[in-house]
Chain A
Amino acid sequence: MAGHGRRIWPVQGDPLRHNPSRAATPRPTQPGFERFMWYFTRISGLLLVLLALGHMLIMHVLVQLTGQEINFAFVTSRWGSPFWRIYDLLLLVLALIHGVNGARIIIGDYVVRGGLRGLLIGLLMVMTLIWLLTGVFVIATFDPNGAPAAGPFS
């Protein structure tokens, strides 16, 4: 649409400092939080390709193909193994931080007003902390009652 010209985004000053958006910016060189999250997103993304897709393939495809059902007994035998507990903890922490950081970038892209942006990102951070602690608590404190491992994914 005419009128916009090339200026589709009000970048004022250094976009790396004043806007969390990574859209149309090259690999960051300036040290700091934004550069850390840029690398974190990509490295955690590589791990999540294996962790998240593996989790989805097991829970939503292989469980069904092997005629199992996800219930308390399934979780008990699964989390009886430290491997799957660590797997799920790693998946939870990486996926939540990766996803919430992405949501923060998107808020920064579309909410221009500094105050509203800060409020939304602040709410997101508070919510994330509560959800992260809940998720870690559930995985870490789940009591398997010494149930024997059973089934191919336990």
Chain B
Amino acid sequence: MTRRPIFAYRISWSQLAWLGHRLSGIGVLVYLFMHIVENATLALGPDVYNVTQTFFRNLPVRLGEIVLMAALVYHSLNGLRVIAMDFWPSTTVWYRPLTYGVIIATALAMIPLGLIMITPYAPWGGR
């Protein structure tokens, strides 16, 4: 059986971008499966649904939601890069700056998003 080596050589940013796309995609998909289960309690009426919602109002879940947001932002931006390079192969000339751009844009977007999302649980937020 032949296995595809993952770290058998010096890894580049573009390979990390590819790995990140898969990991963020799997992460969002796992969340989606959980989200459908959690939403299904809507069919059981307000009492059940309102109780299940309280399970999600705590710091660990909020940190997970911030990771989810980062995964989705990254997957979206990197996906747009992949689409651009698939349909306009000439853009592959710019694959390195575009990849760096995706990573930097994700990090920049997560500064305000992360701050807003953590605020209810932060010392300055006060819940």
Contact = CB atoms under 8 A, between A and B. Distances in A.
B120 interface: yes
Interface string B10-28: 0000000000001001101
Given A1-B8, A103-B29, A53 B116 contact: no
Interface string A62-94: 001100001111010000000000000000100
A53 B73 contact: yes
A33 interface: no
Given A70-B53, A99-B29, A106-B22, A53 B76 contact: yes
B53 to A, nearest CB: 6
Given A53-B76, A61-B117, A45 B83 contact: yes
B39 A135 contact: yes
A8 B6 CA distance: 10
A60 B69 CA distance: 9
B72 A141 contact: no
Given A92-B36, A99-B29, A137 B43 contact: yes
B42 A138 contact: yes
Taking residues whose C-beta sits less than 8 angstroms from the other chain, chain A's interface range is: 35 or more
A138 to B, nearest CB: 5
A149 interface: no
Candidate in A70, A71, A99 with the most chain B CB atoms within 10 angstroms: A99
Contacts of B42: 72, 75, 138, 142
A102 B28 CA distance: 11
B110 to A, nearest CB: 12
A153 to B, nearest CB: 16
Shortest 8 CB-CB contacts between residues of A and residues of B = A72-B46, A99-B29, A1-B8, A135-B36, A49-B76, A10-B2, A45-B79, A72-B49
Interface of A: 1, 4, 7-10, 27, 42, 45-46, 48-49, 52-53, 56, 60-61, 64-65, 70-73, 75, 92, 95-96, 99-100, 102-103, 106, 109-110, 112-113, 127, 131, 134-135, 137-138, 141-142
Interface of B: 1-5, 8-9, 22, 25-26, 28-29, 32-33, 36-37, 39-40, 42-43, 45-46, 49-50, 53, 65, 68-69, 72-73, 76, 79-80, 82-83, 86-87, 113, 116-117, 119-120
